[in-house]
Amino acid sequence: MSRVTSTRDRFRWTILALISVSHVIGATAQYAINTLAPFYQDELGLSRAQVGLFFSAFYLAMTSFSFGAGWLADHLGVQKTMLQGHLFLGVCTVAASLAPSFSWAFASFFLAGAGYSFLNPASSKGVMAWFDHDERATAMGTKQTGVPAGGVVTAMLAPQLVLIVGWRGALAALGLINFFFGFLFSSLWRDPYSENFVAAPHSVTPARAAAPLKIWSFLPISCGTAIYLVGQMALITYVPLYLKEMAGFSAYWASQALALTQAGAMIGRIGWGVASDKLFGGRRKIVLIIIGLLSTFFIAVLSFMTRGSSLFLLLLILFLSGVCLVGYQGVSYALIGELAGKERTGAALGMMITINAACATLGTPLFGYLVDRTGSYPIAWQALAGALGLGIIGLATLLKEPEAGRPREGY
């Protein structure tokens, strides 16, 4: 074994752990918006709609800044981009804790979302650099478990902090954790020693930097997974209301049932990555199609559930929907990196996140609007299943996957 190989083997899992913790820390600030809402709503005199707009502001910023953040990751490198993301996210979250009004909080959460937008493209670029093709989807899926894990940490930690320092102190604490973790990440990160990184571990050549991405190369994966994300956000957003209104759950148990879906997501994000790397020989497209088919089936089954249906079956469907519909992203992130090549992963992923987030921002409330207009969750679930079917067809017919181990450069 060469010196280069042994060095990569020794540190790649440590680097993956660092990246995964980064996602957990970043997600705590994101999920604090909803977790702390019951505590700050009355003090700031907010309506339910205004509280909902805070999360929309965060997501809108992710939509707006992800491509630019990806471009920065390609040009500045993982270390500097992640540092800037955590610092900006931390400062803006602390600013939100000082909010005297809706407008102040809205602006702070919007800017926090801009900081958060740096983390995904940069961390994915890091995975592309450190992991070879036969481990890449597993690594991507592992780092993406940090997002639901961050939600779990926030749910457990934030209310306890409120009891000690109030909601403002709790929110400020989560911001400070992000701020200081940025410096910790920067001090621990290093680029891999390989032929591609010896001369300039975090830069692209002038010719590559000047060449624009060929957007058409990435549209099939970006648009197909955008429909998957609409399904994911609709599932996470409306399952508690569905269980309360249609299945007779109390508000408490409806929320607890959502944790089952998130648990499925954590299993799926790693499991699908392992399946893609090991069972399917590094192929991503077929795995995404299988995930889509299973997701469509589970959502369609959900549309036929009634108050008299088996509780065990209902909870099983919610869990498996989490495994599939909330667990696919590691595979899609690995594929977008392989389509773009290591040097352009940041910009390509940023573009995909922009398209995904834009569609989710529009599609998620459309699901709720359909329920309001029809008074029927089953109709909305069936419409969602139909939309997922269109996404599967698009991926199957339009997506051209590079040969295993031979990434195609999309520029």
| pLDDT value of residue 83 | 94
- At 162, which CATH number? 1.20.1250.20
Do 382 and 254 sit in the same domain of this protein? yes
| pLDDT value of residue 159 | 82
Do 158 and 217 sit in the same domain of this protein? no
| pLDDT value of residue 162 | 86
Domain count, the chain: 2
Nearest to 288 by CA among 262, 325, 256, 254: 325
Do 223 and 166 sit in the same domain of this protein? no
- 108 is written with which tokens? 């702070």
pLDDT along the chain (411 residues), means of 10: 47 89 91 80 77 79 84 87 94 94 92 92 87 85 86 81 90 94 92 53 46 67 89 83 80 71 87 91 92 96 89 92 89 84 75 84 83 89 95 90 56 36
Do 236 and 307 sit in the same domain of this protein? yes
Whether the CB-CB separation of 300 and 239 falls below 8 Å is answered with no
- 127 is written with which tokens? 């995975």
Full domain range(s) for residue 131:
3-187
3-state secondary structure of 100: coil
How far is it, in rounded angstroms, from Cα 319 to Cα 300? Answer: 14
pTM: 0.76
Nearest to 222 by CA among 339, 411, 351: 351
| DSSP secondary structure letter of residue 190 | -
- Is the residue at 76 inside a domain? yes
| pLDDT value of residue 251 | 64
Do 100 and 223 sit in the same domain of this protein? no
Q: Angle CA(155)–CA(139)–CA(343) in degrees, nearest 5?
A: 115
